[in-house]
Amino acid sequence: MLYIAAILHPYIEHNIEKMTPTSQLCPCSSNRTYQSCCQPLHAGQLHASSAEQLMCSRYSAFYLGNIAYLIATIHPHQRQDNDEKTLAQTIKQTQWLGLKIIKHSQTEHAAIVEFVAFFQHETVGQLHEKSRFVKEDGQWFYIDGELLPPIKLSRNELCFCGSGKKIKKCHGNVSPK
Ligand SMILES: [Zn+2]
Ligand SMILES: [Zn+2]
């Protein structure tokens, strides 16, 4: 996931002190508990078995403010000196609402995952990105991503936030600015 601090205005800051108890639903919108989803990856007990799973765990790490995990899952060649600072800024400025995986294609050593991460900014915003991943020594890494225009959502589909309600009854304002 790209750092979206650059596309957000700097004046919104959220107090990120969210700790997801293990028995609660995972932030990645998988509808599973954190314990049975992204937690073992964040804890270093498991490696992601697919690029899609890595993508989801990186989203959860953004949500939870787990900077160490975000850096560890960037391919070493792609890491920058200011990663920690940029990530901290993005995490502080962003209130994430949900994740929707659009497409996922994977070969043995490379993968592309297209997704939308929804966030609350004056209205609901979308980070629609096509991310590249590679697998090295049995481990998936994030390489980089290409930003795409926001997707159109039907007001009658279930809300991306996982509330179980239709979009029009929940985070209804989804049109791009
Ligand atoms: Zn998860
Ligand atoms: Zn919602």
Q: If pLDDT is split at 50, 70 and 90, which confidence band does 163 have?
A: confident
- Among the bound ligands, name the one nearest to the CA of residue 97: 2
pLDDT tens figures, 55-99: 999 999 999 999 999 999 999 999 999 999 999 999 998 999 999
Q: How far is ligand 2, taken at its centre, from the CA of residue 13, in Å?
A: 21
Average pLDDT, the chain: 88
Measure the CA–CA gap between 62 and 92, rounded to whole angstroms. Answer: 10
Q: For 63, what's the count of Cα atoms within 13 Å in the CB-facing half-sphere?
A: 26
Q: How far is ligand 1, taken at its centre, from the CA of residue 135, in Å?
A: 20
Structural domains in the chain plus CATH codes: 5-150 (3.10.450.50)
- Among the bound ligands, name the one nearest to the CA of residue 46: 1
pLDDT tens figures, 130-161: 999 999 999 999 999 999 999 999 999 999 98
Average pLDDT rounded to a whole number, residues 94-113: 96
Neighbouring C-beta atoms of residue 171, cutoff 10 Å: 19
Has residue 17 got a pLDDT over 60? no
